[in-house]
Each structure stands twice: as structure tokens, then as C-alpha cells.
């Protein structure tokens, strides 16, 4: 071996560091290493006929030292892998013997987060059945639709959920009857079981027996493992087919990517009925044999106490959760935690650094993906570089992705990609420009990578674009506008359908929300476009949740002065492009101040819902309810500050006497 002069080590290290900074190769290695390892293990498990993640838990529960490691923490109780495994066998046996559930059957489960959710889920997997995760916030038509489309003959409902959706009132009784009988084949009824503490004791007394391997044999990676429903922000929920491949590769990839350790405690109170907590949370933990601490649901008052009680080292967030945590009054205990990383998706750029600083979180592991999607983007972010990005690629990955990922021009009126009039093919946008994100599919076997929606071929086909760049190709539509910069950073722009046109320009609701959200006193901003009589396109409106200290409620002059002062601050920020970063056409013309309990509506996964707000627009009567509802402010033509929007102002607009 040739000796290396010590004097050369320093310059060589500096050169390598410079090359890495330029090409971001260490980031690419982190992603590719995780991808290769997770894909390889999935293929090995398929060859062994063991793609059901039940086998991952079984192996952890029957080998040392993992069998004695804490697997699950919930409300002060804990279960080792071995203990949880024995409980899961009881649930599997109970399903077989009490209800006759067998391999391939679908069972709907409408549960809040709990240890029982996990036991039911893996109990079904232990006998080869498929769970359908129902959003526990649903009731009425949406709940019945979700259960019916699952084709489940058995529905388990958490007792707390049952009290709300099938309670003792007439609506509850009607919903229960529909759940039993609607679209059931034959003369029987769908069985509905309310799962309370008594039922839990019954299962606990059952004699658990391991189902034979034959009950789980024959499944391939592309077969359905779970049905997980879309949020239903644009209509009734759709049941996305989550394959065993997605469970194994998704759960395996994430832990390898962000460096999950066996002594880590991963805390999540995000809903387990969504893929973020279910696959990238719990299956990730089982795959890597770490510990998960589960909160029943998100609450500002319980989040950090549960994190501290479980000694969590990783926390999970989605959507607006980090903003909600920041909205709580500062406390000396804010940094009293062992958290080294926050992992999730939907962290807005205006919240990113403030969250890290306040709670002492060193690393943000942000990702972008969707339940039914075929890929994702990943940003392991420490320090200052890549803050706010939903994904990050170095030069090598950027080259590889060029063949399988595309960002294309979109027609916001038709919500379809623009096509070249001569060739008929879509057009890629320039680096850094917004467009719809597409992922390439194998056109000869689309179902192997995109399983689509259960019993909904129309919705499945609507997510596939064909003949995009060449005749016969196929691509998955994300439905999201994103930009991919020349430096390899990915940024979320908006959902297609949320972006609107005003003054012949495209306005990104996400971009405007981020700008408004940095103003002191603004706790939440939900931006959308509203139709204005006599005007083309949609004008911008921001529904705001304001700090009551800055924007008190009342009729006194001091209250009015405080309200006007905050509006002056918002005006000064938004109308100064150097501060807001917004062109004038993107500045919202209307502000809707949500008062009382009328807060921004969110999905169960903490994504803001715009439909009701958009439907009401700025109709003075609908919004203010004659002075008993929300408050409206507006930028009059030529004004430099928002002022109160009155009924007379609305009549002037409707009469065509005001041109915006």
C-alpha cells in the first residue's frame, strides 16, 4: 500500500467536501442506499412467500433481543414485541372462530388511534384478511359510502366513534341501518360490531392460535394489503389499494433513509387510518424493530407531555400540526425533550425554522408522497440548506430521475396537461417553473406499480395519462403543482384545482398562505379563489384565524383600534412585494376573519379544506350571517390598506358599480 502524506489529507478532504456540496452526492447516497436495501428485502420476502408484514412482527417477537424490546406504548401502558404478538394471535383466532373471517376477506375498521387498532390490524393480517381503514371523522353518507365500497361484510367500530356516528338519535339509527343493509349481496346483513372495553376483555380471554402459513400464502408484492381512503376534500372518499410492496418498501425505506435506530422511540398521534402514520410510522417501526408511542389524537395539550412521557426521540407531523404547536403560548419546557428529528409532510416554509428553533429539533425529515402514488421525494434537512423543500436530489439522482419523473405544463381551466398542437405530446416546464408532477408507469403492467382504487376503475384510469411523451407511454398524475429547481430541490406549489386565475395570471394558494402566515398575529391562513359578479377568473380571499390578543372581539373603540392596527400590519406586509414576495395580482383582495368557534376546517390529516369557504365566496349575508358570523375585509380599488367590507360594498359589486 502506498503511503499517503499527512499533508495531503486536509486538502483532499476539503476537495471532497467541496464536490459533495456542489453535487450533493451524500444526499443521493442516503436515498439510493435506503431504496436498494428496502427493494432487495421486499423481493427476498416475496420469494420466501412471506410478504405479509405480520411475518416481520412475528420474527421480531420470537428472536432475541428484539422479543423483549418495547414495541408499543399507549396511554402509559406498554407491550414488548413478544407480548403484542400473543395478543395479535388472540385477535386473529377470534376473527376466524367468531366471525368466520378467512384469507382474502375484507374487514372494515373504524377506530381512533389505540393499541386495539394495532392488534385488530395485525390480527387480520395474521389470518390473511385485508383491513379497510375507515376515517373515524366520517358520518352519514361519507361513512356509508366508505364501508359499502370496501365490500366488507364485517365492520368494527370503536365505542367512542360509535357514540358519535351510530348513537341513539334518529340520524345515528338511520346510519346504523344503512351500514347493515345498503348494497349487501343476498338476503343477509352486514355485521356491525361496536368494540368497547367489554369486547376487548372477551378477545383477551380467547385462546390465541397461530394460523397456518397457508392462510397467508400466495400473496405477491402487488397484491392489496390495506384499503386506505383519500381525504375526500373533492368528493366522497375513494379506497386506495395499498399493496404489500408499498408497505414493505415504504416502511423499510423510511427507516433506512432517516437513520432509525433500534433504541429510538417514534411518537405519532397522526391518524393511523392514513398511510403516513400507518406505513411510514408503524410498519417502519416493526420493520426496524424500534418502539412506537401512539397518541389517541392530536391535541396541543397532550402532544408534548406524551412525547416527554415516552422519551420519544422522533416525532411525526402532518399538514398544519407544527403551526398548531407553535400557536401555543411559549413555555420553559419547550426544549425539555429528547427529540432529535421531526418526520412528516406538509411543513410550510414559514413555520420550518421557527419550529426547529423553539422546540430544539435539529433535523427535519420532510417528504412528499400520496397514498395511491407510485413514488415520493425526500428532504433530510439539517442546518440551513434546503429549508422549505419537500424533496432534494443531488446531481446523480437528478440524472436518474430524468427518465422516470416529469413536471409538465398544465392548463388550469381544463386541469389537464397542455399538449403540443403538432405532436400532441405534453411539454416539460423549465427548471424551477411550476407544473404537474408525473411519475412514469410501465404501460404493459400498470397495475404492478399503481393498483389504483378498489372497485373504482373510472377513478383509477383518471390518474393515468397516456401518450405523454411518446405513443404508448403511461404516467401517474399526482394532481399537484410542483417546481424542480436546477439545484435539485423540490417545492410544493399547490393542488390542481386550488390554484386559480386572476387578471389572466395563475395564483398559488399555498404561496399566498405562506406569505400571510408570517405576519405576527396570524395563526392560520387558508387561501382560495372566489367568483366575483361581472369579473373573469377568481379573486383571492384568505380565511384567517387571528391571535385574540392582536385581534380581540367586541364593539368598543379600543377593540376596533386593535383590529385596525393588525389589519394595517397585514396590509403593509402584503402590499410590499419585498416583504411578501407576492406580485400584486396574487395579493388577496378579501380577508375573511374566522371568529368564535368557526375555525379553518381540516381533514383528518390536518390539510385545510376550502370547499365551503369557496362556495360562500364573499357573499356578505352568507359569510357574516347578518353580523353574527365571520368578518370580511377588502382592498378597495386603489386602496393601500384593508378596510371592512360592508353589505353596501357587496351591493355595489353585484350592481356592477365597482371594478376590481
Q: What is the DSSP letter of 382?
A: -
- Per the listing, cell 427529540 goes with 339
**pLDDT for the residue numbered 138:** 87
Say how far apart CA 98 and CA 241 lie, in whole Å. 27
Is 596's pLDDT higher than 90? no
pLDDT digits (tens, 9 = 90+) for 462-473: 999 999 999 999
Sign, CA dihedral 120-57-273-439, equals: negative
Residue 538: partners with Cβ closer than 8 Å, 6 or more residues away? 500, 501, 502, 529, 530, 531, 532
Among 223-237, 419-433, 507-521, the least confident range: 223-237
| Mean pLDDT value of segment 361-370 | 96
For residue 440, list its beta bridge partners: 475
Is 1's pLDDT higher than 50? no
Residue 43: partners with Cβ closer than 8 Å, 6 or more residues away? 221
Say how far apart CA 477 and CA 441 lie, in whole Å. 10
**pLDDT for the residue numbered 476:** 96
Sign, CA dihedral 12-17-21-23, equals: positive
- Per the listing, cell 399526482 goes with 478
Dihedrals phi, psi of 659, to nearest 5 degrees = -110, 120
> Is the Cβ–Cβ distance between 287 and 251 less than 8 Å?
yes
Say whether pTM exceeds 0.75. yes
Is 15's pLDDT higher than 60? no
Dihedrals phi, psi of 267, to nearest 5 degrees = -100, 130
Say how far apart CA 303 and CA 300 lie, in whole Å. 6
Which of 485, 505, 482, 478 lies closest to 494 in space, CA to CA? 482
Q: How many helices (H) and strands (E) does the chain have?
A: 24, 29
| Mean pLDDT value of segment 409-430 | 93
More confident residue, 310 or 506: 310
Q: What is the dihedral of CA 313, 318, 319, 322, to 10 degrees?
A: -10
28-42, 180-194, 496-510, 619-633: range with highest mean pLDDT = 28-42
> Is the Cβ–Cβ distance between 614 and 328 less than 8 Å?
no
183 backbone φψ class: left, alpha, beta (φ>0; ψ -120 to 50) = left
pLDDT digits (tens, 9 = 90+) for 64-99: 999 999 999 999 999 999 999 999 999 999 999 999
- pLDDT category at 4 given cuts 50, 70, 90 is low
More confident residue, 244 or 556: 244
Residue 414: partners with Cβ closer than 8 Å, 6 or more residues away? none
DSSP secondary structure string for all residues of 426-482: B-BPPTT--EEEEEEE-TT-GGGT---BTT-HHHHHHTEEESSSSTT-EEEEEEEEE
Is 606's pLDDT higher than 80? no
Is 604's pLDDT higher than 70? no
pLDDT digits (tens, 9 = 90+) for 499-553: 888 887 788 888 899 899 889 999 889 999 999 998 878 899 999 999 888 898 8
Residue-averaged pLDDT of the chain = 91
Among 167-181, 190-204, 453-467, 538-552, the least confident range: 167-181
**pLDDT for the residue numbered 93:** 98
Domains located in the chain, CATH noted: 393-447+462-494 (2.30.38), 501-654 (3.30.300.30)
In the numeric block, which cell numbers belong to residue 172?
A: 345515528
Say how far apart CA 465 and CA 418 lie, in whole Å. 12
- pLDDT category at 262 given cuts 50, 70, 90 is very high
DSSP secondary structure string for all residues of 573-636: HHT-HHHH---GGGS-SEEEE--TT-PPPB-TTSPBP-HHHHHHTT-HHHHHTTTTS-EEEE--
Which of 488, 486, 582, 490 lies closest to 542 in space, CA to CA? 582
DSSP secondary structure string for all residues of 250-286: IHHHHHHHHT--TT-EEEE-S-TTSHHHIIIIIIHHH
- pLDDT category at 234 given cuts 50, 70, 90 is low
**pLDDT for the residue numbered 140:** 85
194-198, 254-258, 408-412, 640-644: range with highest mean pLDDT = 254-258
DSSP secondary structure string for all residues of 140-185: HHHHHHHHHHHT-SEEEEEHHHHHHHSSSSHHHHHHHHHHHHTT-S
Q: What is the DSSP letter of 206?
A: S
- pLDDT category at 597 given cuts 50, 70, 90 is low
| Mean pLDDT value of segment 431-451 | 93
**pLDDT for the residue numbered 649:** 94
Say how far apart CA 44 and CA 219 lie, in whole Å. 13
> What is the DSSP pairing of strand 435-441 with strand 405-408?
antiparallel
Amino acid at each position: 500500500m502506498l503511503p499517503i502524506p499527512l499533508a495531503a489529507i486536509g486538502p483532499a478532504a476539503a476537495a471532497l467536501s467541496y464536490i459533495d456540496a456542489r453535487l450533493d452526492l451524500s444526499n443521493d447516497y442516503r436515498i439510493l442506499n435506503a431504496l436498494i436495501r428496502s427493494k432487495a428485502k421486499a423481493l427476498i420476502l416475496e420469494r420466501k412467500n412471506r410478504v405479509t408484514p405480520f411475518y416481520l412482527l412475528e420474527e421480531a417477537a420470537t428472536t432475541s433481543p428484539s422479543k423483549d424490546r418495547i414495541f408499543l406504548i399507549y396511554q402509559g401502558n406498554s407491550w414488548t414485541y413478544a407480548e403484542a404478538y400473543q395478543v395479535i394471535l388472540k385477535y386473529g383466532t377470534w376473527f376466524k372462530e367468531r366471525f368466520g373471517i378467512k384469507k382474502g376477506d375484507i374487514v372494515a375498521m373504524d377506530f381512533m388511534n389505540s393499541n386495539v387498532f394495532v392488534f385488530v390490524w395485525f390480527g387480520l393480517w395474521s389470518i390473511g384478511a385485508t383491513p379497510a381503514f375507515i376515517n373515524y371523522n366520517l358520518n352519514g353518507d361519507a361513512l356509508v359510502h366508505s364501508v359499502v365500497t370496501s365490500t366488507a361484510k364485517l365492520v368494527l367500530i370503536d365505542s367512542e366513534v360509535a357514540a358519535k356516528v351510530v348513537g341513539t338519535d334518529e340520524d345515528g339509527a338511520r346510519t346504523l341501518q344503512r351500514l347493515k343493509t345498503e348494497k349487501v349481496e343476498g338476503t343477509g346483513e352486514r355485521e356491525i360490531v361496536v368494540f368497547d372495553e367489554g369486547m376487548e376483555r372477551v378477545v383477551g380471554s380467547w385462546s390465541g392460535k397461530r394460523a397456518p402459513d397457508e392462510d397467508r400464502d400466495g400473496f405477491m408484492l402487488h397484491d392489496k394489503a390495506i384499503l386506505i381512503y383519500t381525504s375526500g376534500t373533492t368528493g366522497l372518499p375513494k379506497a386506495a389499494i395499498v399493496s404489500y410492496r408499498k408497505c414493505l418498501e415504504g416502511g423499510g425505506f423510511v427507516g433506512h433513509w432517516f437513520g432509525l435506530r433500534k433504541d429510538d422511540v417514534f411518537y405519532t398521534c397522526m391518524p393511523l387510518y392514513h398511510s403516513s402514520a400507518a406505513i411510514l410510522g408503524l410498519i417502519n417501526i416493526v420493520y426496524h424493530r424500534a418502539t412506537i408511542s401512539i397518541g389517541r389524537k392530536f391535541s396541543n395539550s397532550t402532544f408534548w407531555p406524551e412525547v416527554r412521557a415516552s422519551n420519544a426521540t422522533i416525532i411525526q407531523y402532518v399538514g398544519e400540526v407544527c403551526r398548531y404547536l407553535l400557536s401555543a403560548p411559549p413555555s420553559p419546557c419547550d426544549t425539555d425533550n429528547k427529540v432529535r428529528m421531526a418526520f412528516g409532510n406538509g411543513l410550510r416554509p414559514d413555520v420550518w425554522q421557527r419550529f426547529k428553533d423553539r422546540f430544539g429539533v435539529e433535523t427535519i425529515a420532510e417528504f412528499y408522497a400520496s397514498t395511491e402514488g407510485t413514488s415520493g421525494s425526500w428532504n433530510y434537512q439539517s442546518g440551513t440548506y434546503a429549508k422549505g423543500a419537500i424533496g432534494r436530489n443531488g446531481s446523480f439522482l437528478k440524472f436518474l430521475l430524468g427518465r422516470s419523473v416529469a413536471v409538465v405544463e398544465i392548463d388550469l381551466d381544463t386541469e389537464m396537461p397542455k399538449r403540443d398542437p403538432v405532436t400532441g405530446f405534453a411539454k416539460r416546464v423549465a427548471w424551477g417553473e411550476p407544473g404537474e408532477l408525473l411519475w412514469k408507469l410501465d404501460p404493459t403492467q400498470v397495475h404492478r406499480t399503481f393498483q389504483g382504487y378498489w372497485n373504482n376503475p373510472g377513478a383509477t384510469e383518471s390518474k393515468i395519462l397516456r401518450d405523454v411523451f411518446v405513443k404508448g407511454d403511461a404516467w401517474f398524475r399526482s394532481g399537484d403543482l410542483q417546481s424542480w429547481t436546477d439545484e435539485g430541490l423540490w417545492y410544493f406549489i399547490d393542488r390542481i384545482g386550488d390554484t386559480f386565475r386572476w387578471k389572466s395570471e395563475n395564483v398559488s394558494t399555498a404561496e399566498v398562505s405562506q406569505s400571510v402566515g408570517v405576519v405576527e398575529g396570524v395563526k392560520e391562513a387558508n387561501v382560495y379563489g372566489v367568483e366575483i359578479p361581472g369579473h373573469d377568473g377568481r379573486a383571492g380571499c384568505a380565511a384567517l384565524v387571528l391571535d385574540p390578543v392582536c385581534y380581540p372581539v367586541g364593539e368598543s373603540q379600543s377593540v376596533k383600534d386593535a383590529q385596525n392596527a393588525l389589519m394595517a400590519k397585514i396590509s403593509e406586509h402584503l402590499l410590499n412585494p419585498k416583504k411578501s414576495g407576492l406580485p400584486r395580482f396574487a395579493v388577496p383582495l378579501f380577508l375573511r376573519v374566522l371568529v368564535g368557534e368557526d375555525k379553518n376546517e381540516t381533514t383528518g390529516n390536518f390539510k385545510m379544506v376550502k370547499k365551503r369557504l369557496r362556495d360562500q365566496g364573499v357573499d356578505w349575508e352568507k359569510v357574516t350571517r347578518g353580523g353574527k358570523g365571520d368578518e370580511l375585509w377588502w382592498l378597495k380599488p386603489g386602496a393601500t390598506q384593508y378596510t371592512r367590507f360592508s353589505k353596501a360594498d357587496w351591493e355595489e359589486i353585484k350592481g356592477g358599480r365597482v371594478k376590481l
